[in-house]
Each structure stands twice: as structure tokens, then as C-alpha cells.
Structure 1
Amino acid sequence: MTTNLVRRTTRILVLNPNSSKAMTHGLEQGIREMELSQSTEVHTYTAPKESPASINDGDDVQDSARVVSQDLESTGLLKHYDAVLVACFSVHPLVGMLADRDGEFGKLAVTGIFEASILTCLSLLRPGKKWGIVTTGKFWEEHLRQGLNSFWGTQSDVPNTKFAGVETTGLNAGDFHGGVDPEVVRKKLMAATTRLLKSGDVECVVMGCAGMAGLEEIIRFVAADEYGPEKANELLVVDGVRGGIGLLEQMVRSKRAFRKT
């Protein structure tokens, strides 16, 4: 007797490179609300306790990459997945490190929520409209601008007319999950969003921190005040985790379709 494979499951790992389980649980809430193919499985991973609890600067980025890469190497975890989403809104080294090892883990599709958010916005923007980022601390302003130039392949002194900029709240990732009073979070996120929207014609706002998942309505509230209720309803508020999962579904299918077996 023989059997034939007629349907293949896509297994995606959402990788939180910091050690905060609370942040991972926050990501899971948003993922549960997604409309996905019944053949897609989404699993989550929280970095070991040696990784920073909140990734707030370049040192934290590098430390988290080192801890997670060592853990993945020792456990062989990635052999069980078709795709990995690095859930840190940064130019995170793990994205390149894991993508370079494609083939070792099978046809592994890899992206980060930073990269996925860029592609999501560019696919949604109407002509003449702009997109921008609201994120956490001051460090990320220059870090993300440099990352965008690298991703686009442009020089830092060449303006991109589609990009409205990066505005920061002054908070860190952990603050969005019980680190500070929720009213403080609300006020600071509103202030950063207001500064971004005042640049005009912003159609897409990216939540530049995985910890911001679930705070879309705060951004829409500000948009209603700045642009009016009708235009605010048209505003696209991008969660990089959900955007990344959707992108990875397509990347997995494309690798299977266009890469030699």
C-alpha cells in the first residue's frame, strides 16, 4: 500500500529575541486574531534568560543575536520550520545570519518585522502618499534610518519621498507590557503619532516595536483629531508581526515554486 502527500503544512516560527515572556504573550494575542490558511501553523519562541529582557540599543541587539544563535544551534530547532520571523523592530543580525543558512535547514524563509513592515507599507501605499514609524527610544531614530537606506540601497543624503520619518515615544519595549502606567504609554504614543502625522499625507503608520501590538486604536484616535474621522478610518496601522507572517506565507510558497528541489 502506498500513500500520497496531497497537502503540505507551512510551519512558521515567530522568534522573540528578548527574554520577556510577557512580550511573547502579547504577540500571541495578535496572531490569534489573524486570518490564516488552515494549512499554516504559527509557533512562538522566547529567547533564553541570558538574552536582554528589552532590546533598547545596539548592545542589546548584538547580545540577543549571540544568545539566540547559540540556543538555536544547540537545539536544532529550526529544522522543524519552513519560515522564521525575527520579532524585533531593528536591523537585527539574526535575519541575515539565519537567511545565510538557508539550505542547511531546508528551504527556510526568513525576515524580520522591520523588513516586513517596509514591504507591507510599500505594497499598500497609494500614489503621492507616505508612510512612517512610531517607535520607542531615541537610539532607534538613526538606527532605523540607516537600516532603511541599506534596505533600499540608497545613500543617507538622498531623501525618499514616500517616507515620513521616525518618531519616538521615549519608552522602551518592556514599558508597553506593564513597565509603566498605561496612561503614560498612551500619552507618549499619542505625542509621537501626532508629530508623525503633521508631516502630511501619511497613509500608513508602522508600530515600530513588537511590544506595541494591540495599541492600534491609540494611533487611530490621534489620526481622527489630525485628519478627521473619515480620513482616519482609511489610515493603515501596520503591526510588523502580522505583516511578517503574511509575507512569510508567500515567501514559503515562492521558494517551493521557484527554487530547484
Structure 2
Amino acid sequence: MTTYLVRRSTRILVVNPNSSTTMSHGVEEAIRSIGLSESTEIYVYTAPPESPPSINDGDDIQASSEIVFKDLTTNGNLQQYDAALVACFSVHPLVERLGELQGSRGKLAVTGIFEAGVLASLALLTTPPLNTVPARKWGVVTTGKWWEAHLTQGVNTFLGVDPRSVNDKFAGVESTGLDAGDFHGGVDPSVIREKLKDATKRLLGQGAVDCVVMGCAGMAGLENIIRSAAIEKYGPEQGHQVLIIDGVRAGIGQLEQMVRNKRMFQEV
């Protein structure tokens, strides 16, 4: 009797490029809440201790990229994975660098939680009839002030939008003034709640915002705070309709589909 493989599992590596194991645990909790196929396996990687414990600016982005890329290409056994998700809400070089590496079957399918959050928002925005009401919008709530310009520029570049033009669907980026590490034990929860609600309300104040993207992997599990801000700002009916997008969960779903598409459409 001859047997052969008919179906394969999908193996996804979630890369936390900072060295915080607490942050990785938060990412794990977000992953556990996803209804995944039984054939999908998720593995979480935390950067070595020399990587920044919290990524707060361009220097941290670059340092984490160099440290993690070296570690993964030396010790990561990337050939056993089909896809990788970079769990830092930024324009992170690891997305492009890992995408050039070989996985279990050809090049890795790679995205970041930034890119996944943008694509999920655009896919989920409601489209009103022409010439009736203003375009529905999406926007980002993030950590420190530095990220406002970085992420705004990143959105324009990713979508191919001229920064001098008006993007009717993008409400912008509002910051909490916190660092990523503050969301997991670094700051009193009441302070986190107050600052996150305030930033969310400022974003919603841009008008007709249907989607709020959590602009930090450390925000995983804090959807209820954003929801309460939406209800206070918009009222119960409209507030409950606002979509709150976690880039980790969005990225896992997109990578599952990317791997399936590669298997269906690539030359074999």
C-alpha cells in the first residue's frame, strides 16, 4: 500500500522584536482568542535580552531589527515555518527582511501587525452611497507622541498616497503618551484607562470613524477600554458598532490566507 501527504499544517511564527516576555504573553492571549483552523500552528518568539524591552522610537526599531534578524537567521530554524508575523506596530524593517528568507516551502509569507491593521480596516469600512454622507473613516490609537508622524507617514507610503493630498478615509493617529511596556505592569491601570480613553475620544472626534486600530501589540486585551470610550463619545447604539482592530489577530488571519493562496497559485 502506498500513502502520501494530502494536506499540510500551516505553521506561523509570531515575532515579538522586543525583549519583553510580558508583552509576548499578551500576544499569546490575543492569539488564543482566535478561532483558528485545527491545522494551523502558532509559535511565539521573543527577542533576545539585548533587544530593547520596549520599542519607542526609530533607534529602537533599527536595533531590534538587527538583533532579531541575526538571531532568527542563526538560531531560528525558519525553514520549518510557512509564515511570520512581526508583532510591532511600526514600519518595521523585519517585514521586508524576513520576506526574503526561505520558509518550509519557498519564501516566507510575512506581514506586520501595522500592515495587517491597515488592510483589515480598509476591508471592513462601510461604503456609503455616493454623494450622500461623508466617507467613513479609520484611525490609529498609539503610544508615544513620536509615533504620530511615523505611523501617518507609514500609512501614506503603504497605501501609495501623496502626503500632500487628503485621505478621506484615514482619520489619523492619536497618542496616549504611554510606552508599550506601560500597558503590562509599567503604569497604574487607572492611568492607562484614562489616557487610552482620552486618545480614543480624540480620534473619534475626527468624525464618522468606524474602525479604531490598536497601534501597539501591548494594547492586546484592552479593547473594552476603547469600547467604553466609543460608547461615551457616540452613544450606545453607534458606539457598539465601532470595530476595534487588533493587528495580531488580523495578521494571523491574513497570513493563513496568504499561505493558502501561495499553495494554490504558485508553480509546483
Alignment of 1:192 onto 2:219: no
Q: CA deviation at 1:4?
A: 1.5
- State the partner residue of 1:162: 169
Return the match for 1:134 from 130, 141, 144. Answer: 141
Worse-matched range after superposition: 240-249 or 143-152: 143-152
Alignment of 1:250 onto 2:257: yes
C-alpha spacing 1:188/1:10, structure 2 compared with 1 (3 Å): same
Q: CA deviation at 1:108?
A: 1.3
- State the partner residue of 1:203: 210
Q: CA deviation at 1:91?
A: 0.1
- State the partner residue of 1:21: 21
Unaligned 5+ runs, structure 1: none
- State the partner residue of 2:96: 96
1:175-216 CA-partner distances (Å, limit 9, x unpaired): 000001011100000110010001110000000000000000
- CA distance in structure 2 between the partners assigned to 1:76 and 1:133 by the alignment: 32
Q: CA deviation at 1:155?
A: 1.7
- CA distance in structure 2 between the partners assigned to 1:2 and 1:104 by the alignment: 24
Q: Tell me the amino acid that sits aligned with residue 92 of structure 2.
A: H
- CA distance in structure 1 between the partners assigned to 2:100 and 2:26 by the alignment: 29
Alignment of 1:226 onto 2:233: yes
Unaligned 5+ runs, structure 2: 128-134
Q: Tell me the amino acid that sits aligned with residue 157 of structure 2.
A: S
Alignment of 1:68 onto 2:61: no
- State the partner residue of 2:132: none
1:122-181 CA-partner distances (Å, limit 9, x unpaired): 010011210000000011011011111110112211121000010000000000000010
Q: CA deviation at 1:260?
A: 1.0
1:69-105 CA-partner distances (Å, limit 9, x unpaired): 0001111421110000000000000001111235797
- CA distance in structure 1 between the partners assigned to 2:117 and 2:101 by the alignment: 23
Alpha-carbon RMSD: 1.2
Q: Tell me the amino acid that sits aligned with residue 50 of structure 1.
A: E
- CA distance in structure 2 between the partners assigned to 1:103 and 1:179 by the alignment: 36
1:232-261 CA-partner distances (Å, limit 9, x unpaired): 111100000000000000000111111112
- State the partner residue of 1:215: 222
Q: CA deviation at 1:106?
A: 2.3
| SS across alignment from 2:165 | coil
- CA distance in structure 1 between the partners assigned to 2:201 and 2:44 by the alignment: 33
Following TM superposition, the consecutive aligned residue runs of length 4 or more in structure 1 with deviations greater than 2 angstroms are 100-107
C-alpha spacing 1:104/1:257, structure 2 compared with 1 (3 Å): closer
Q: Tell me the amino acid that sits aligned with residue 145 of structure 1.
A: T
- State the partner residue of 1:11: 11
| SS across alignment from 1:234 | coil
Q: CA deviation at 1:2?
A: 2.2
TM-score, normalization by structure 2: 0.95
Alignment of 1:176 onto 2:180: no
Return the match for 2:159 from 145, 152, 158. Answer: 152
- CA distance in structure 1 between the partners assigned to 2:100 and 2:106 by the alignment: 12
User: Between Structure 1 and Structure 2, how many residues are aligned?
Assistant: 261
| SS across alignment from 2:44 | strand
- State the partner residue of 2:34: 34
- CA distance in structure 2 between the partners assigned to 1:28 and 1:194 by the alignment: 28
Percent of aligned pairs sharing the same letter: 64
Conserved? CA contact 2:200–2:226, under 8 Å = yes
Alignment of 1:114 onto 2:121: no
TM-score, normalization by structure 1: 0.97
